Amino acid sequence: MRQSGSRPFLEKGTDLKYRAAFLYACLATVVASSVVAQAPALVAQDAWARQAPGSDVAAVYLTLRNPSTKPIVIVGVESSVAMHAMIHETKTESGQSRMRPHEQLVVAPGQTVKLEPGGLHVMLHGLTQPVAVGQSVPLVLLLDGGSKVQVTAIVRALNAQ
C-alpha cells in the first residue's frame, strides 16, 4: 500500500537530482539568452585604409551591414594607431568639397551603409606610427548601449579606390 505523498517511481534522492538538473537547465538558458542579446549584430566588412605618406592622418573605408530587426547606432570610433578617430562625411556644396564630422551613424534594420571615398569615412588623426601598404590598422566601433565591434583595415596605396 502506498503512503500518501510518496512517489512510487522515484526514490527520495532522485527527486532532488531532477530538480537540480531542471534548475541548472533553466539557468543555462537564461545565461545563453543574455549573451546572445548582448552580441552586436553589426557586420563590418571590406575595411581598408588609404595610405598618406608623410602625413599624420589616414582615411578608413568599410561596409557596415545590420542584419538585425533594430537600428544600430555607432557613437564613436577608436584606434590604437591614432590619437583621434571619428566618422566624417564629405559633401560637395557649390562646387566645393567639404568634410564635416558625423556625430552618430545609424545603420537601419536590414540595411547596408558604405563608407567610401567621397562620402562617409573614418578619419584617423595624429597617427602614432607610420602606416605602410599591406599593414593592418585596428579600429573599434563604439555602439550605443556599450557594445563594441572590432575591425581590421588593410592599408592600400594613396590612389586606391
Query: pLDDT at position 43, please?
Result: 97
Query: pLDDT at position 19, please?
Result: 55
Tens of pLDDT along 69-110? 999 999 999 999 999 999 999 988 888 888 899 889 999 999
SS3 150: strand
Phi/psi for 129 (5° steps) reads -155, 150
Q: How far apart are CA 77 and CA 108, in angstroms?
A: 19
pLDDT at 26 over 70: no
**H or E stretch covering 16:** helix 12-38
Q: How far apart are CA 102 and CA 119, in angstroms?
A: 11
pLDDT at 146 over 50: yes
Q: How far apart are CA 155 and CA 97, in angstroms?
A: 24
pLDDT at 37 over 80: no
